[in-house]
Homo-oligomer: A and B are copies of this chain.
Amino acid sequence: MDQSKSAPSERVRVKRAHERGKYDAQSIHAILDATPLAHVGYTIGEQPFVTPTLQWREGDRVYWHGSSASRALKSSEAAEVCLTVTLMDGFVMARSAFHHSVNYRSVMVLGTAEKISDPDEKELRLKNFVEGLFPGRWDMLRPVTGKEIKATTVLSMSVDEASAKIRTGPPIDDEEDYALPIWSGVIPVKSQLLAPEPDPRNLEGLTPPGHVTGITLG
Alpha-carbon distance A195/B133, docked complex (angstroms) = 28
CB of A193 within 8 A of CB of B189, answer yes
Kindly state whether residue A1 has any CB partner on chain B within 8 Å: no
Q: Which residue of B15, B37, B66, B81 is within 8 Å of A48 (Cβ)?
A: B81
A175 to B31, CA, bound (A): 38
Decide if A40 is an interface residue (CB 8 Å cutoff). yes
Q: Mark A102-141, 1 if CB is under 8 A from B, else 0.
A: 1010101010000000000000001100100110011011
Q: Does A84 contact B (CB under 8 A)?
A: yes
Question: Could you say which residues of chain B place their CB within 8 Å of the CB of A217?
Answer: 189
Q: Is the CB of B98 within 8 A of A52?
A: no
Given A39-B39, A48-B41, A181-B203, also A97-B187 (CB < 8 A): no
Residue pair B191, A138 in contact (C-beta under 8 Å) = no
Once the chains are docked, how many angstroms separate the CA of A207 from the CA of B200? 46
A185 x B170 contact (CB < 8 A)? no
Between-chain CB contacts (< 8 Å), 11 pairs:
A16-B70, A46-B80, A52-B88, A90-B197, A91-B215, A142-B174, A142-B177, A178-B201, A183-B207, A187-B197, A188-B197
Interface residues, chain A, with chain B CB atoms under 8 Å away: 11, 15-16, 37, 39-44, 46-52, 54, 66-67, 69-71, 80-84, 86, 88, 90-91, 93-98, 100, 102, 104, 106, 108, 110, 126-127, 130, 133-134, 137-138, 140-142, 144-145, 148, 151-152, 170-171, 173-174, 177-203, 206-209, 212, 215, 217
